[in-house]
Amino acid sequence: MKDVIAVVLLVTVANDEEARTIGELLLNKRKIACVNMVPKINSLFWWNGKIESEEERLLIIKSKESLIPEIVELVKSIHSYDVPEIIALPIIGGNEDYLQWIFDEIAG
């Protein structure tokens, strides 16, 4: 397991339906072990030269580093945004049993 890097991906989405659709797609394809769907976050961001404000949902996704390109492509293929936020952060430590569970639940 030491050579395999666990990651957390953060993805913002427009609504609860989109959150569930993306989460279920990634789970059904066994690209992720888990997704947390955080409701109703408020986002401020630059878009087309001005500051925008939106109510969004946040997906907190657990997977492994080698699957990031596939996850990004799957999310982009069904996401409603022109430029969806999909960022990955390495997990540098934690409960080894939980980290092993992530790897055990993912295909590929």
Residues 6-34 pLDDT 10s? 999 999 999 999 999 999 999 999 999 99
* Reported confidence tier of residue 4, pLDDT bands at 50, 70, 90: confident
Q: Measured on CA atoms in the order 29, 31, 35, 41, is the torsion positive or negative?
A: negative
Please give the model's pTM, rounded to 2 decimal places: 0.94
Starting at the earlier edge strand, list the strands of the sheet with 86-90. Answer: 34-47, 50-64, 6-13, 86-90
What percent of the chain has pLDDT above 70? 97
Q: CA neighbours within 13 Å on the CB side: how many for 53? A: 1
Strand-pairing partners, residue 60, are 10, 36
Rounded to whole angstroms, the Cα distance separating 78 from 48 reads 22
Domain 6-105 classified CATH 3.40.50.720? Answer: no
Domain range annotation of the chain: 6-105
